[in-house]
């Protein structure tokens, strides 16, 4: 039996959300898509938003939630030939017996001919059976209004991830052994609300071993060797207790006396002074 080789993963792949609820922010898309997955139907969806906000990952999470067969058309490969081949496959029964999910990345880069072809295939009268189309894009200026009108539009707003991203990145950094959370503030500012970019920046710090931020404090030595002059026998005795509060003149252990802290010595002196004043007053009163 051959041993399996374990390959490493980037942080963006390792912590890629696998469920709809696992995404940072995106409250409206998560709520709408969770309800859709509970009762899916033949439809077309358009995920609009900046890069790194989880559009493609969300499409994959939907496919997983409804146990669908996935057909992924990556950016720059959305040609007429590719679309026709995918549509042909969607006319067969899915492998799991449920749904087909067609994910088209960077849909705004598809050719005009590709848009026209999807116009007919996303129409209710000509759509392939048990098929859900999901288009992702950063912009819609190159897309025809007729095409967009066939889709359910969901906006992946980067600002919606801003509130939850610090806690999300902090949890991952602790799990990966990053030592200085003060550095996460700089990473968040540089990445904006782009979750993928923030994870890439954290990964660079982990790979280089550069733990930027407040360095760990150097261990402080407790060595504080000093001597005391015994008030009883006059001899000097020493120790190295770092938090010593004894006066420089105290009773040494050799005399059998109990050393007193400077606070005890001051208190005894104050009591002695007060006692002497009271006795003096009594003598005068007689």
- pLDDT for 242: 55
Helix (H, G, I), strand (E, B) or coil at 226: strand
Name the residue ranges covered by the structural domains of the chain.
11-157, 165-208, 226-285
- pLDDT for 256: 63
- Asked if 228 and 250 touch (Cβ cutoff 8 Å), the reply is yes
CATH superfamily entry for domain 11-157 = P-loop containing nucleotide triphosphate hydrolases (3.40.50.300)
Nearest to 253 by CA among 232, 268, 269: 232
Can you give the pTM of this predicted structure?
A: 0.66
Span between the terminal Cα atoms of the chain, in Å? 109
Q: Is the dihedral of CA 86, 90, 91, 93 positive or negative?
A: positive
- One digit per residue, pLDDT tens: the chain, 286 residues? 444 444 567 888 888 889 999 998 899 999 999 999 999 999 999 999 988 888 999 999 999 999 999 999 987 788 888 999 999 999 988 877 789 999 999 998 888 888 888 888 887 667 888 999 999 999 898 888 988 999 999 999 878 877 788 888 888 888 887 776 667 777 777 787 788 888 888 888 777 765 444 344 455 554 556 677 777 777 776 766 655 666 656 667 677 666 666 666 677 777 778 788 878 877 777 6
Contacts of 215 (CB under 8 A, 6+ apart): 180
- Asked if 119 and 146 touch (Cβ cutoff 8 Å), the reply is yes
**Residue 220 φ/ψ region, left for φ over 0, alpha for ψ in the -120 to 50 degree band, beta for the rest:** beta
């Amino acid at each position: 039996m051959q041993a399996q080789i374990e390959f490493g993963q980037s942080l963006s792949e390792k912590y890629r959300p696998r469920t709809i609820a696992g995404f940072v922010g995106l409250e409206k898309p998560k709520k709408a898509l969770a309800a859709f997955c509970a009762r899916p139907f033949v439809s077309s969806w358009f995920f609009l938003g900046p890069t790194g906000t989880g559009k493609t990952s969300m499409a994959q999470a939907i496919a997983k939630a409804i146990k669908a067969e996935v057909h992924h058309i990556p950016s720059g490969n959305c040609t007429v030939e590719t679309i026709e081949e995918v549509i042909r496959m969607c006319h067969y029964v899915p492998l799991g017996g449920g749904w087909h999910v067609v994910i088209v990345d960077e849909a705004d880069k598809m050719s005009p001919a590709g848009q026209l072809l999807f116009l007919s295939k996303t129409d209710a009268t000509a759509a392939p059976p048990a098929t859900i189309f999901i288009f992702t894009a950063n912009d819609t200026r190159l897309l025809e209004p007729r095409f967009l009108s066939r889709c359910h539009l969901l906006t992946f707003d980067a600002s919606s991830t801003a509130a939850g991203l610090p806690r999300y990145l902090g949890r991952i950094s602790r799990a990966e052994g990053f030592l200085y959370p003060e550095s996460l503030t700089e990473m968040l500012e540089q990445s904006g609300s782009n979750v993928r970019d923030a994870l890439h920046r954290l990964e660079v710090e982990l790979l280089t071993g550069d733990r930027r931020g407040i360095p760990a404090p150097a261990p402080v030595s407790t060595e504080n060797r000093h001597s005391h002059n015994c008030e009883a026998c006059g001899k000097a005795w020493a120790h190295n207790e770092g938090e010593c509060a004894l006066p420089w003149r105290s009773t040494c252990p050799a005399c059998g006396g109990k050393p007193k802290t400077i606070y005890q010595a001051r208190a005894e002196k104050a009591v002695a002074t007060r006692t002497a004043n009271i006795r003096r007053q009594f003598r005068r009163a007689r």
